[in-house]
Amino acid sequence: MNFKDNKAIYLQIAERICDEILLGTYKEDERIPSVREYASMVEVNFNTVMRSFEHLQSSDIVYNKRGIGYFVANGAKAKILSIRKNDFLQNEINDFFKQVQMLDIPMEKIVEMYNQYVKQQKNKQI
């Protein structure tokens, strides 16, 4: 896994696990790979992945069955979507709008491009 310098590795791993939950790789009440398995998959230290799992557990996205492993919590997908939507709307959208305004891009062009993007994504799923 390639990591970015601007965010802690354990948070990037937690985001990847959330992505995998959103994509259906791991479903609710389904076991996820062990800490050691996941550390091997992303080629990082066991302790870093343990910190990621603990972070996700504190956010009620995964839970631990002692001696068995970590599982995706009920409602995890909805919780991830809610967290990400709030983060996007509170932190990222202002930068996006700032760029749109500075570059004098008409909102109609943004809407057109967004609709084209959605159409392309739907065609990929078919």
Specify the number of domains making up the chain: 1
Helical pair 9-22 and 35-42, crossing angle rounded to 10 deg: 100
> Is a pLDDT exceeding 80 seen at residue 108?
yes
pLDDT in tens, 56-67: 999 999 999 999
Instruction: For residue 6, name the pLDDT band (cuts at 50, 70, 90).
Output: confident
> Is a pLDDT exceeding 80 seen at residue 81?
yes
pLDDT at 24: 94
Q: Provide the CATH number for the domain around residue 77.
A: 1.10.10.10
pLDDT at 122: 87
For range 92-97, the mean pLDDT? 92
Helix (H) or strand (E) holding 17: helix 9-22
Range of the domain at 52: 1-126
